[in-house]
Amino acid sequence: MKAYRTTIAAVAALGLALAAAGCGDDGDSGDGKKITIGIKFDQPGIGLKTPSGSYTGFDVDVATYIANELGHKSGDIVWKEAKSADRETLLQRGDVDFIAASYSITPTRSEKVDFAGPYLLAHQDVLIRADDNSITKPEDLNSKKLCSVTGSTSAQNVKTRIAPDAQLQEYGGYSECLTGLENNAVDALTTDDSILAGYAAQSQFEGKFKLAGFKMSNENYGIGVPKGSELKAKINAALQKMVADGTWNQYVQKNFGPANYKNEPAPQIGVIVS
């Protein structure tokens, strides 16, 4: 009987663990039409999930503006993480209504999805330590230690075209690289300047890092929508209004300002800088 009771106890404990694991999802607030938007969750300045559970960043601000223009209240937005590799799939499957996640317009991607915008012109750049004067031109990256995220094209760009002797370490996220950069384990972190500016703009990093200012590529950020979606025209109209009424400028200042980021002027809708 004792053994039997022990069995019951064990099964009950397992069940408890299961129950605790099961009841995770909390309901959404808001009452109007829901809209699901894909953003980055781990890029400060672009799209970041904060400890309070809210989201901040340039993409988040732009996406909220668009959603409001489309007739959705801010409370009716459902944010969904759009990791770089998943973006086309999310749109094709209809898991999100649109994506604003540092999403560069490229010919390959345009075959699978449509883009509204562009709404920001970014460039590939490197982030270096503020006191590092040894990197003044892209070729200086030779013999330097470079950090980027797994599967990122920007790192491969540098290695194949600009600085073949650079060493490359890849991590799952940019924040890992930042730790190394701060502690001299790596010398430069490369990706789009807007993303880098977002990191450098964080209060805890103020004065520690600087953008080198190499314009190694042009990245036209667009709003990804499913192929053939009628949202494209509506979003373009919203973007035009956002630039015209000064909100765009305000968002740029708010999110990238502290990093001393020299932003490009607001791009013209449908004009891709290559």
Binding site for another protein (CB under 8 A): 1-4, 6-7, 10, 13-14, 17-18, 20-22, 24, 41-44, 48-53, 80-81, 83, 86, 89-90, 93, 95, 145, 151, 167-176, 178-180, 182-186, 202-205
- To another protein, the closest distance from the beta carbon of 120 in angstroms equals 20
Q: Where are the alpha helices (DSSP H) in the chain?
A: 2-22, 58-69, 87-93, 107-112, 153-157, 174-182, 193-200, 231-244, 247-256
- To another protein, the closest distance from the beta carbon of 252 in angstroms equals 21
- To another protein, the closest distance from the beta carbon of 178 in angstroms equals 5
In the bound state with another protein, the residue whose beta carbon lies nearer, of 3 and 246, is 3
109 and 125 in contact (C-beta within 8 Å)? no
Side-chain-side CA neighbours of residue 103 (13 Å): 34
- To another protein, the closest distance from the beta carbon of 2 in angstroms equals 5
Q: Which residue has the tokens 């956002």?
A: 242
In the bound state with another protein, the residue whose beta carbon lies nearer, of 36 and 157, is 36
Q: Write the CA distances from 148 to 47, 72, 127, 232, 268, integer angstroms.
A: 18, 36, 11, 32, 30
In the bound state with another protein, the residue whose beta carbon lies nearer, of 151 and 265, is 151
| Gap between the Cα atoms of 22 and 256, Å rounded | 40
63 and 35 in contact (C-beta within 8 Å)? no
218 and 192 in contact (C-beta within 8 Å)? no
- To another protein, the closest distance from the beta carbon of 185 in angstroms equals 5
| Gap between the Cα atoms of 80 and 135, Å rounded | 38
In the bound state with another protein, the residue whose beta carbon lies nearer, of 106 and 169, is 169
Span between the terminal Cα atoms of the chain, in Å? 77
- To another protein, the closest distance from the beta carbon of 237 in angstroms equals 30
- To another protein, the closest distance from the beta carbon of 202 in angstroms equals 7
DSSP 186: -
In the bound state with another protein, the residue whose beta carbon lies nearer, of 186 and 188, is 186
In the bound state with another protein, the residue whose beta carbon lies nearer, of 183 and 274, is 183
In the bound state with another protein, the residue whose beta carbon lies nearer, of 82 and 252, is 82
